[in-house]
Amino acid sequence: MARLPILEVPDPRLRRRSVPVSAVTDELRTLVADMFETMYDAAGIGLAAAQVDRPIRLLVIDLVDGPPDAEGRSTRNPRVFINPEILEPSEETSVYNEGCLSVPDQYAEVARPARIRARWRDLGWVEHEATLDGLLATCLQHEMDHLEGILFIDHLSRLRREMLLKKLAKARAEAAREKAA
């Protein structure tokens, strides 16, 4: 497994639309393993292939950050979503304070449908259809946005988005100054 570089704003590759996956291959399995390693290393809960410069309709999610198991390892529940689609979003919305590995250390409240009926394939190419809610529904919608070239900041007002991007630029400039010193 390998840790992959994560694209960050304003990289234009984040704005590409992803293409469907046609089959599970050894290359795809390796990419999935690398994406999980990358996501865990970055302390994320979701990662779309588009964020690691692979514009295909693939994403991984793991919301579990529970207590350690008997050997002291944290328990995980890795989930793979291939060619995900939302069939029925609820009219009811919920608001989460979202962040993104492609917009590091920046967070904002985003309203999304509270429940969704979704369909996807897993790494065994088995098709699933389920109604999802809570953080899983929010996370899936967030990651699916990446497959369309959309970032969570695109759901914010122009003023809020500009403020957040200025804050990110300032943090990057400070980090560069510290590194140079």
Catalytic residues: 143
d(CA 34, CA 38): 6
Tell me if 161 sits within 8 A of 99, measured CB to CB.
no
Distance CA 119, CA 128 (A): 6
- Residues 135, 38, 119: CA angle, nearest 5 degrees: 45
Strand partners, 140: none
103 vs 10: CA distance, rounded Å? 9
Q: For residues 107 and 98, is the Cβ–Cβ distance under 8 A?
A: yes
Residue showing tokens 């969570």: 152
Decide: 156 and 26 in contact? Cβ < 8 Å. Answer: no
